[in-house]
Amino acid sequence: MSQQFLVTSRADMEERGWDQLDFVYINGDAYVDHPGFAAAVIGRVLESRGYRVGLISQPDWQRLEPFKALGRPRLAALITAGNLDSMLNEKTAAKKIRNKDSYSPGGAIGRRPERATIVYANRMREAYKDVPVIIGGIEASLRRFAHYDYWSDKVRHSILLDSKADILSYGMGERSIVEIADALAEGKSPAEMYNIRGICYVTSREPRGKNLVFCPSYEEVKRDKKLFSKAFKIQYEEQDPFYGKTVVQASENRYLVQNPPALPLTTAELDAIYELPFQRRWHPAYDAVGGVPALQEVQFSLTSHRGCFGNCHFCAIASHQGRIIQHRSHQSLLREAEKMTTLPGFKGYIHDVGGPTANFRHAACRKQETEGACRNRHCVGSEVCPNVNASHSDYLALLREIRHVKGVKKVFVRSGLRYDYLLADNPAEFIEELCRYHVSGQLKVAPEHVVKHVTDLMGKAGVQDFLRFKELFDEANRQIGKKQYLVPYFMSSHPGCTLNDAVALAEFLRDMHMQPEQVQDFIPTPGSLSTAMYYTGENPLTGKPVYVARGKEDKRMQRALMQYASPANYDLVYQALCRAGRRDLIGYGSKCLIGPRRLPEKRAAQDDGRPVKRRVKVRKKSKNR
């Protein structure tokens, strides 16, 4: 197994004595050889199985030659858009071009095309017509069915149909990509590996069998939002590796088939993946431009587990990583921490120990490990299931062990902490130790909103849990004599959130003396339940209608209310309060959000919808008449 970077050039191939690669891997991100970057993980996994892998990162898609740089692959071309959906990477919630791309050298923008998976797959097909094309990664995974695309505001085909690839590997992919590679090495065609879990494929023959379910077709979900909701519900409920069925969606005269998800990795398998010989840095080719910004967040962090049973409806992690926690052993994490202390640039600080959610270290309950997650109920969210095992003893023991590694000065917890799950345990000991050893002055948490029907639609805990956690956090810091603060994250314009709900959030921020520096406007990303709500105007799981703030002005007002104290937001906040009928919050009183201003009668009336009183000039009679 190579102790170097993966092959990126012909010179690298010659150095290893290779005349042909087994796989050419097209990557929408810059190449960072770190387990936090998907292309590096899949490349290393294949390499560990004896396959020759070469990486072409961010090729110029307007020319064909860059896609031929490493020659024709013996087995297949692999395609990923990168660690983020390429549209989300490029554009904001307001559909404006972002001014920085953290996954590109020097943060430069414009290094990958829109809908990168489709573009790259078509280019590789053009370069080598008879070479199988396998797509994967977060973009392919979350767009595997017909889906609503926010940036074009329409329902699109499955990305497998648009890309014309042979196979789509969804989810984290290590297990399925090895099975695909082994099948190709045995001389099998893509059509002979349709039994592999964790893949999607397209066939012209209608699938038959007992363990499959049909959802409404592409044509139906494009035409009828009710059928879109029905399709989403079917897809959403069949994503468990233990009981999930094969899901079929027709499109014209073809059928998209999603096989059941890959089975969860064992602890030994996950340990082996994260202990592959990653260089834990960007490729030296990027040194001249200052490297790749995204590495800074994860370079000295430890991934302790995968999966999330957190139930956040605006998040697609459950659709990609699954709801069942897969954790690494203490021994593996300690070995990685020890290795980290020898790396250039390490100053004794481990920035994070966690995963999608920091304190989910084991399955939510014993049933999940053998039977899967419950189909019709969630582990946490509006309430914590009574069957949830909320013990934090293992995570606490792990943090203690890591902070005693020689060369480690401090171990921080920065990934999301689910305080509702923590409160279901006996939280005092954990919070005291968290505050004493693992907080760097501020701890980020994500209540997201404070109005119950909004947090219910988000799949988040209610505000009372946040207030209880804050009380315990503040008390723990008083006891140990530290001044440390919670930094709460809130979201505007989530489906279900009205202007009045946004005002209620602003009042909460006022009462708590909080002034968020950063606010997040809801972005309808492919694959999430919240996106389905946004598009259809209903909750697909219940069929109940959901209010959606669609207009730019409505979204801007909701966002501005979260930062009502900013002078730049005064006009929007004034307009929002008038429109919501809350002029009582304008003035000099202690409960007011903003001060008054003098406006022409016409402008003031327009702001709150009152009829404009028109002044009629009366001509005076001339004295000469």
- Extract the annotated binding site for [4Fe-4S] cluster: 308, 312, 315
- Distance between CA atoms of residues 162 and 119, nearest Å: 9
- Torsion angle of alpha carbons 42, 29, 235, 197, nearest 10°? -10
Q: Are 277 and 327 in contact (CB under 8 A)?
A: no
Look at strands 199-203 and 254-258 and give their pairing.
antiparallel
Look at strands 281-282 and 32-33 and give their pairing.
antiparallel
Q: Are 515 and 509 in contact (CB under 8 A)?
A: yes
- Distance between CA atoms of residues 13 and 415, nearest Å: 38
Per residue, what are the HEC states of 356-401? CCCCCCCCCCHHHHHHCCCCCCCCCCCCCCCCCCCCCHHHHHHHHH
- Distance between CA atoms of residues 136 and 154, nearest Å: 23
- Distance between CA atoms of residues 550 and 570, nearest Å: 22
Binding residues: 308, 312, 315
- Count other C-beta atoms under 10 Å from residue 568's C-beta: 8
Please state the φ and ψ torsions of residue 412, each to the nearest 5 degrees: -100, 155
Per residue, what are the HEC states of 198-209? CEEEEECCCCCC
Give SS3 for 77.
strand
CA distances from 152 to 87, 433, 525 (A): 10, 48, 12
Q: In the numeric block, which tokens belong to residue 341?
A: 């202390």
Task: Identify the CA nearest to 118 among candidates 164, 163, 57, 85.
Answer: 163
Number of H helices, E strands in the chain: 24, 22
- Distance between CA atoms of residues 40 and 279, nearest Å: 10
CA distances from 151 to 63, 141, 525 (A): 25, 18, 9
| H-helix or E-strand spanning residue 179 | helix 174-185
| H-helix or E-strand spanning residue 302 | strand 301-303
CA distances from 136 to 182, 308, 450, 528 (A): 17, 20, 37, 18
